[in-house]
A and B are shown apart, each in its own frame.
Chain A
Amino acid sequence: MRESYLISISKKISAVQLLAILFFGLSCVFAIIAIVASDVFFLRLATEAMIFGGLALSVDLLLGITGLLPLGQALFFGFGAYASALILKNWTTSIWIVLLISTLFSALMGGLAGLIAIRSKGVYFALISFGLAQVVSKVVFNSRDLGASDGIIGVPNAEILPGLTSGDPAVFFSFTILFILFLYAGLNYLLATPYGRQLIAIKTNEHRVAFLGFNTWRYKLSAFVLAASIAGVSGALYPMLRGFVSPELMFFQVSGNAIINVIVGGTGTLIGPLYGSALLTGIRSVVGSFTPHHQLVIGVLFMAVVILLPRGIIGYLAPLLDSWRSRKRNAKIQEADHG
């Protein structure tokens, strides 16, 4: 009796969710080892990976869930980073106020950009989102008030709680991983609601959704605004880590890397993009210390994944894990029958 109860519980946690638990578990182990070893470099690198993981989550919401390919998601990431840098430098160092205001502004920006981009479909949406990011990044690049090509330097640390600031690598990594966990859990929850299911339906067959009585434009626009907010709030963490922002944060390379992180990790799985960001940020840094041509390695890896594992790492592992679990479950049931 007890066993069947356990089985019914285990059935409720999907393989993807197990891999998510593993991800956050490994992050905690990593943090403990790094803190014990008084490491700074890897903690900061891992924090950066998670910040870009937030951006990848926002790309996955559009690409993997709603079926929109955003080629300019860095626009909102960079926008959040600039908003954060300006607030930290000129107004307050409270991380909560910074994150709140950056989110609101990114959402507003997302609404404006969405009104332009969501009118189009498929490749046209992709190109408009790309174009918008190019325009804004060039404006920032040429604005003296925003530091032009140098960006904004000397951004002070943000205060999380009295005595705890983003300047402490261990504290800031812990904060970032908790924050990303919060974003991940929120999106994961959203997918189980009618709203989230409609987004998936739009990706699967947008034409039919309209004939079910739903305004697809509204759903897509709201997803776009949500994705912009997530990208923006992730970007807001960036200057707290690096102490500066530059127009490069809005460039296509950042948008492109986010898409690569999503596809390598597993589109539409939400946890895949976090694995992808962790893996690829690690590879970029390690390979980058040997050769300046690390993009070559990333490019080859990307092609290999697209050809060999078209559903990405998590898209490949999750079904394997599922079939292994069901074999194990069947064996257990058989054992119970014989017993």
Chain B
Amino acid sequence: MDDAILKVQGLSVRFGALAAVHDVHFEARRGHITSVIGPNGAGKSSLFNLISGAIRPSAGRVQFNGRDTTGFTPDQMVKAGLSRSFQITNLFFELTVRENLRLAAQFLEHGRGLFLPTYASERSNLRVEELLEKFSLQSRANELAGYLSHGEQRRLEIATALACDPEMLLLDEPTQGMSLTDTHETETLIRELACDNLSILLVEHDVDLVMNISNHVIVMNQGQKLAEGTPLDVRANSAVQAAYFGEVREQLHA
């Protein structure tokens, strides 16, 4: 089996005159945590949108699991085995936590039992209970998603993306707006997920978290890949230091 689960080759997208992503190449390995970092406007979210099928590339290819998935729609990407979470919590706020997860887990039924009562969808109902426990949401299962705290909503966001049992999970700033404790819990959770042989592609602002948990880091700047390598390599890279860590340090010292 090919070691690379995701291959991105020459991927570009333009919004008018702006080249949001320009000629990006990288590979993400199976079972690894690959992270994408970069300053605001570096093109990280656009890269995620390109891979997950939210937008179509102007040029380049995306290969997932040995298949050419360039131009796939979001639902086709999920069917191919790639699921994603969102930077801005994107849930069904008017539905309960359990219902949010059940809708997502229904994917596992492959269209079977579509017209039977929901309780007949055994596999998805089991998956829901499993996720409620894993993400410590049991006590909130019957609350509307809109009534959860920010940290709980962020957890539900990841759980929802995970419900379809993907081979690769794209996490878009999972700790955004989280307290320090919640961030630590999320870090542990991501590690656990990777231990279950799930491949993870992570976009994250928290550089310390990225350096702690990633196997491989890609640094982006102004739509292009600036550098990639292990966390240690990336930290030592002078171009990265100038473009990214320098900026962060300046911010920290300001």
Contacts and interface: CB of A to CB of B under 8 A. Distances in A.
A198 interface: yes
B78 interface: yes
A212 B115 contact: no
B209 interface: no
A224 B90 CA distance: 26
B114 A204 contact: no
A197 B102 CA distance: 9
Given A192-B117, A193-B117, A214 B107 contact: yes
B121 A201 contact: no
Interface string A204-218: 110111111111100
Contacts of B102: 197
A211 B92 contact: no
Interface string B53-66: 01000000000000
A124 interface: no
A210 B99 CA distance: 16
* Chain B interface size, under 10 / 10 to 19 / 20 to 34 / 35 or more: 35 or more
A210 B115 CA distance: 20
Contacts of A194: 106, 109, 113-116, 118, 121, 124
A33 interface: no
Given A201-B95, A204-B95, A195 B115 contact: yes
B75 interface: yes
B79 A213 contact: yes
B118 A192 contact: yes
20 contacts: A189-B117, A193-B113, A193-B117, A193-B118, A194-B118, A197-B102, A197-B103, A197-B106, A201-B95, A205-B93, A207-B90, A208-B90, A208-B92, A209-B103, A210-B74, A211-B75, A212-B103, A213-B79, A213-B83, A213-B164
Given A194-B106, A214-B75, A214-B107, 20 more contacts: A192-B118, A193-B115, A193-B116, A194-B115, A205-B91, A205-B92, A208-B86, A208-B90, A208-B91, A208-B92, A210-B74, A211-B74, A211-B90, A211-B161, A212-B78, A212-B104, A212-B106, A213-B78, A213-B79, A213-B107
